Amino acid sequence: MSTKIGLIGDPHATPEPLAEALAIFNKENVNVIGCTGDIAGYGTHLDRTVELLKDSGCQTICGKHEQWYLEKTSQRMVSATDEYIMSLPPIIQEEWEGKKVYMVHASPPQSMMIGIRLLDEHGKVIEGEKEVWTDQLSKFAYDVLIIGHTHQVFAEQLGDTLVINPGSTRFNHCCCVLSLPTARIEWFPLSGQMINYTWKWGEPFNK
């Protein structure tokens, strides 16, 4: 048996690359779709982005931009988009093919701000950062950790945990498919562009 998981991150209210990723997942016959949050922010088409996620059955978690978005809901009538965002959990824990999987926006257990940044401005792994996060996750009892937030694209084995950031469909122009139990990952560029492994490298991710 094999389970294929389509992974997307940080669509930021931009439906076109998200729709392209979902079409790829359909072609690849994925069993599950997961999104690492930050569906709001930057872009201007949040309603359509939410519709695509809902229609696809995507398992989506709450990101920091959703938190900021909800802070403003008391100032307006609650919409269907508001209700969807209110329903998003901070984490998702699953087990597929005997592999324990944990998805959170920035880093475990439930941080939406402290991101795992492993790459330099050229998209190369910073060994010191890899060592730091390997130590941080030394007691993390999951086989796979799926994160977003930093707009970096990587899949790195940190100790006993495979850490995957699928990148932003809007800013990194990519998505991926994870196959379990083999942990094979296939990357797909979006929007007719090459994958941008690090977007706005060096900036603090607090906005």
**For a pLDDT cut of 90, what percent of the chain falls above it?**
91
Sequence-distant (≥ 6) Cβ neighbours of residue 21 within 8 angstroms: 6, 8, 169, 175, 188, 190
Closest CA to 36 of 147, 115, 196: 147
pLDDT band at 49 (very low <50, low <70, confident <90, very high): very high
pLDDT band at 23 (very low <50, low <70, confident <90, very high): very high
Question: What's the number of CA atoms in the CB half-sphere (13 Å) around residue 127?
Answer: 0
Q: What is the mean pLDDT of the chain?
A: 95
Instruction: Give tens-digit pLDDT for 61-86.
Output: 999 999 999 988 766 678 999 999 99
pLDDT of residue 33 exceeding 50: yes
Question: What's the number of CA atoms in the CB half-sphere (13 Å) around residue 41?
Answer: 23
Instruction: Return the SS3 of 182.
Output: coil
- DSSP for 103-134, please give it: EESSBTTTBSSS----B-TTS-B-HHHHHHHH
- DSSP for 5-29, please give it: EEEEB--TT-HHHHHHHHHHHHHTT
Q: Are 29 and 1 in contact (CB under 8 A)?
A: no
What is the pTM (predicted TM-score) of this model?
A: 0.94
pLDDT of residue 21 exceeding 60: yes
Pairing of strands 161-166, 153-158: antiparallel
Q: Give the C-alpha separation, 39 to 83, whole Å.
A: 14
Sequence-distant (≥ 6) Cβ neighbours of residue 193 within 8 angstroms: 173
Q: How far is CA 205 from the centre of its chain?
A: 15
Which structural domains are found in the chain, ordered by start? 3-189 (3.60.21.10)
pLDDT of residue 191 exceeding 70: yes
Q: Are 59 and 3 in contact (CB under 8 A)?
A: no
pLDDT of residue 151 exceeding 50: yes
